[in-house]
A and B are shown apart, each in its own frame.
Chain A
Amino acid sequence: MTSDSDGNQVPRLELHGITKIYPSVIANEDVSLSVKRGEIHAVLGENGAGKSTLMKMIYGVTRPDAGEMKWEGEVVHVENPAHARSLGIGMVFQHFSLFETLNVVENVALGLPGNPDLNQLAEQITEVSNRYGLPVDPERLVHALSVGERQRVEIVRCLLQNPKLLIMDEPTSVLTPQAVRKLFDTLRQLADEGCSILYISHKLDEIQELCHVATVLRDGKVTGDCIPSEETPKSMASLMIGKELPVPEHNAPVELGEARLQLKRLSKKSDDPFGTELQDIELEVRSGEILGIAGVSGNGQQELLYALSGEEPVDDAESIVICGKPSGRDNPHQRRISGLGFVPEERLGRGAVPRMSLTENALLTAHHAGMLKNGMIQFDKIADFARKCIDGYNVKCGGEEHAANSLSGGNLQKFIMGREILLTPKMLVVAQPTWGVDVGAAAFIRQELIDLRNEGTAILVISEELEELFEISDRIAVIANGRLSPVKNLADTNIDEIGVWMSGMWDQESAAEVTSHA
C-alpha cells in the first residue's frame, strides 16, 4: 500500500458524530471515522453493536438523526442507495438483497443505473467473475443458488459498478479458505487501484491479515481505533466484547455409544434442475461424538439437509436410520419423535417464523414436549420454555413476546440452538451453526455443542467454516458433488488435506495410497 501522500490527502469518507436512535434502542451514538483512498478499513463489533446500521446510513438506506458525512471533502446527505451509487459507493449486504425468481443477470441489472443490455451484461458478469475468481452462471435463477453462490452474485454486482468505496458486510462467512484467499487478492487489487473498502467482519484473523486500520464499535459507540497488524486477535476481541474471549474446551471423546444416525447408500435425485444429486452417501454418527461435514456451498449440503430433516423424504426408508428406526419416508414431525433435532441454515423462514413471537416459535418444535394438554396449548409452559431459551443462551431481545424477525441473526441463532438443545435430542443435525454470528456468541454456541455431545447426544454439523469444524469435531468428512468422502478421525487429518478433498479429489488420493501400499 502506498502511504506517501497520506498526510495531505483528503479522506474519501469522513463521518462526524453520527447518531441514529430507534424507538427502543440507540443504534449509533456519536460515531466518527475516516477512510482514506485505497484503504481497507475494518469495522469490528459484536452483533447488535450497530455496524450494519452505520453502513446502511452510508449507503443511504436509512438516514442518521444527527451527525455529518463528508464524501471526498464535501458534506453530503445521501438520500437513497441510488444516490450513494452515483457517488461511487457500493455495498454487499449481509442479508442478501437478491430476488429469488429472477436470474443472475436480472438481479445484477437491477442494481445498475440506466438500462443495460442483458446479453452484454451477462458477458461482463462472466468476465468479472472469472477475473476475481468468483464463478457464477449469469443465466441461473437465484432461488437455485446456495448461500455462497448468492454472495458471489452480490460481490460481482458491486464490482461491476467500479466503486470508489466498497462496503462489505461479512463477505467471507460462507466462502472456502481458497475462495477467501482469492477474495482477499481481489480486495487488495481493488485497494491498490485506489478503491477504499469498509470491511465488516467478526473474523479477527482475517481483519489482521487484510485490513490497514480498524474501528471498533461496542453498543453503538466507537470504543477504539487500532492498526490490526500491531494487535493480536485476542487484544482486538477484548476491545470488541469488553472482556476476554472464551475458548471452547474440547475434551477427549467420551465413550461412544450406540449409532444414532445411519445413512446407508442414501441417494436422491434433485427435483430442482440446478440441484445436486446425492449419490450413495454412507455415514454413521454415534452417541457422544460430533461429526463434521465440510464442503463448498452448493455441493449437495442443501439436498442432504432436506433429506435428513424430512422436508424431502426419500423413497427408501432403510437409507436413513434414526435411532434404530428406518425413517427415510418419515416426515419431519415423525423424525423429531424418533429423537432428531434439526437447526437449518436459514434462521428466518425455516428455523423460525419471522413474524411470530419467540414463544410461538418455541412451540413449533417443542409442542410434543409437554406443551399441549388435550390438544390445547399450555401458554404459561411455552412462555417458561421460551424464557429458559432466552436466559440460558444469552439471547438479547425485548422479551419472549417479541417477533423472531426483531432479533439480530446471531441472537436468533442462539435462541434456535437453545430451543433445540433444551429438548435434549438424541441426534442433532446443525447446519452452519455460527454463520454471521460474532466471535463471542460463536464460541458460546460451539461450547454448547461440545457440552451436548459430552452428555451423550450424537451431533452432525454441516458447515462451510473449516476452522469451526476443526475446533469442535471428533470426526470429519467432506461433501463434494453430492458424494461423501471417507470419514476421518480429526487427529489423522489436517486442514490442507480436507481443503483438497473439498474439490472432490479424495478418490485419486486413496487410489494412490492403495497402489503405494501394494
Chain B
Amino acid sequence: MESSILTSILFATIVAGTPLIIVALGQLVAEKSGVLNLGAEGMMSMGAIAGFAITFETGSVWLGVLGGMAAGALMSYLFAVVVLTLMGNQVATGLALSILGVGLSAFIGKSYESEILPTIEAIRIPLLADIPIIGEPLFAQQSLVYFSWALFGAIVWFLYRSRPGLVLRAVGESPSSAHSIGYPVIRIRYLATIFGGAMAGIGGAFLSVFYTPLWVEGMVAGRGWIAIALVVFATWRPFRVLVGAYLFGGVMVAQLFVQGSGLEINIPSQFLSSLPYLATIIVLVIISRDQNTVRLNAPVSLGQPYRPDA
C-alpha cells in the first residue's frame, strides 16, 4: 500500500516536470546564444491549442505534436524577425508575444472547449518497468517523457561536446568577437531562437494532448514563466534545469495529494496551489547564489541586440 502511493507520487512528479524540462531546455539553448525570449507562455499556449486541435481533427497524436511544434516555432520566428532583423527590444517583444499567444490560443480554442481526447497509453519497457517502486515512474511513461530525457542528453552533448554548441556559446558570450572570427551571429541566433520556440510548442502540446487531454483556456497556467525562471536560476546549466523541473513537479503533486487526501488542515487551497512556484524559486535562488557559477555560465550578451558592422 505504502509503496504504491510512493510510486504514484513519483510517477506523477515526473509527468508534471516533463513539459517544464522540454520548454526550459529549449529556452536554455536560445538564451545561450544571447536571445532572451520571454514569450514562452504564449508559445506554449499556441503549441497546446495547435496540438489539441490537430490531434482532435486528424486523430493522430503525432501530427498533433508536430503541429504544436510548428506553432511554437512559427511564434518564435515572428519574435526573431522583430528582435534579430528589426533590432526590437527583446524584453518588450517577448512580453507581447506571451500576451499574443495566450489570447490567440483562447480565440482559436473557443470551439474545442468541451472536447476531450482519448487518453494515450504509456509505453512499458519490458522487465525494467517491473522493478519495484521506481520501475513504473521511470519505465512505464508516455513517449514524450522519454523524449524529454533524450532531449536533455542531446542538449548536454550539443552544448558541451560538439563544435556547433561551442560556437553557439561563443555567440552568446561575445557576438562581436564571434563575428570578427567569422561566425554568422544573426543566423545562429535565428536557429537557436526557433529551436527554443519549437520546444515550447512541444511542451504546450504535451499539456493538452498527453497530460490532461483536453483544452481549457489558460491551461498553461504560468508554466512558461516558470520555465524561463528555471533557466535563469539554474544558472544556464541543463542538469539544474532537470532538478528544478522535477522539484516543481514534486511539490505540485504533493500539494494536490494533500488537497485531495481530505486531511483536516486549515491551509487555504490557493496557498497550497502556489507552493510549487514558490518552492522552485526559493530553492533555485539558493543554489544560484554563487556568483562565480553565474559569471561562468550566464551568456554575457543575453538580451542585447547585435548589429554586425558591414
Q: Contact residues of A with B, CB < 8 Å?
A: 56, 60-63, 80-85, 93, 96-102, 106, 109-111, 115, 141, 143, 271
Closest partner residue, chain A, to B167 (CB atom) = A110
CB neighbours (8 Å) of A63 from chain B are 310
The verdict on B1 contacting chain A, using a C-beta distance below 8 Å, is no
Size range of the chain B interface in the assembly? 20 to 34
Cross-chain contact B295 with A80 (CB below 8 angstroms): no
Chain A contacts for B181, CB-based, 8 A: 81, 97, 110-111
Q: Looking at the complex, which one of B170, B179, B292 makes contact with A102 (CB distance below 8 Å)?
A: B170
What are 27 A-to-B residue pairs whose CB atoms are below 8 Å?
Answer: A61-B182, A62-B309, A80-B182, A81-B180, A81-B182, A83-B182, A93-B180, A97-B176, A98-B177, A99-B169, A99-B174, A99-B177, A100-B173, A100-B300, A101-B169, A101-B295, A101-B296, A101-B300, A102-B166, A109-B166, A110-B167, A110-B170, A110-B178, A111-B181, A115-B163, A141-B296, A271-B292
Given A99-B174, A100-B300, the answer on whether A61 and B179 have CB atoms closer than 8 Å is yes
| Sample of 9 more A-B contacts, CB < 8 Å, known A97-B174, A97-B177 | A61-B179, A61-B180, A62-B310, A98-B177, A99-B169, A100-B173, A102-B170, A110-B170, A110-B178
B297 contacts chain A at the CB level, 8 A cutoff: yes
Q: Of all chain B residues, which has the CB nearest A100? A: B173
Contacts of B183 in A (CB 8 A): 110
Contact present for A110 and B166 (CB under 8 Å): yes
Residue of A nearest to B166 (CB): A106
**Partner among B169, B177, B182, B310 whose Cβ is within 8 Å of the Cβ of A82:** B182
Chain B 271-304, CB-CB to A under 8 Å as 1, else 0, gives 0000000000000000000001001110010000
Chain B nearest Cβ from A98, distance in angstroms: 7
CB distance from A85 to the nearest CB of B (A): 7
Contact, CB under 8 Å: A143 / B295:
yes
- In Å, the complex CA distance between A425 and B173 comes to 37
A141 CA to B297 CA, complexed, in Å: 12
The answer to whether B170 touches A60 (Cβ under 8 A) is: no
CB distance from A465 to the nearest CB of B (A): 26
Residues in A whose Cβ lies below 8 Å from that of B170: 99, 102, 110
B18 to chain A, nearest CB (A): 30
**Which chain B residues (118-171) contact chain A, with CB distance < 8 Å?**
163, 166-167, 169-170
Distance (Å) between the CB of A258 and the closest chain B CB? 39
Mask: chain B, 240-260; 1 = CB below 8 Å from A; 0 = not = 000000000000000000000
Q: Which 6 A-B pairs have the closest CB atoms?
A: A81-B182, A97-B177, A82-B182, A99-B173, A115-B163, A97-B180
- Closest B residue to A83 using CB positions: B182
* Min C-beta distance of B27 to chain A, whole Å: 19
Contact (Cβ within 8 A) A100 B174: yes
Could you tell me the distance between the alpha carbons of A115 and B170 in the complex, rounded to whole angstroms? 15
* 8 A Cβ contacts from B157-208 to A: 163, 166-167, 169-170, 173-174, 176-183
User: Interface centre among B173, B176, B183, B297, by most A CB within 10 Å?
Assistant: B173
Q: How far is the CB of A121 from chain B (nearest CB, A)?
A: 12
Chain B nearest CB from A193 CB (Å) reads: 24
CB proximity of B303 to chain A, nearest CB, Å: 14
Given contacts A62-B310, A115-B163, A143-B295, contact A102 B182 (CB under 8 A): no
Q: What's the least CB distance linking B282 to chain A, in Å?
A: 26
Please name all residues of chain A whose beta carbon is closer than 8 Å to the beta carbon of B300 when the two chains form the complex: 100-101
B169 and chain A: residue at smallest CB distance: A102
B292 partner residues in chain A, CB cutoff 8 A = 271
Q: Which residues of A contact B182 (CB under 8 A)?
A: 60-61, 80-85
Minimal beta-carbon separation of A337 from chain B (angstroms): 27
Enumerate chain B residues within 8 angstroms of A110, measured Cβ to Cβ: 166-167, 170, 178, 181, 183
Q: Which residues of A contact B166 (CB under 8 A)?
A: 102, 106, 109-110
Chain A residues closer than 8 Å to B174, beta-carbon distance: 97-100
User: How far, in Å, is A475 (CB) from chain B's closest CB?
Assistant: 37
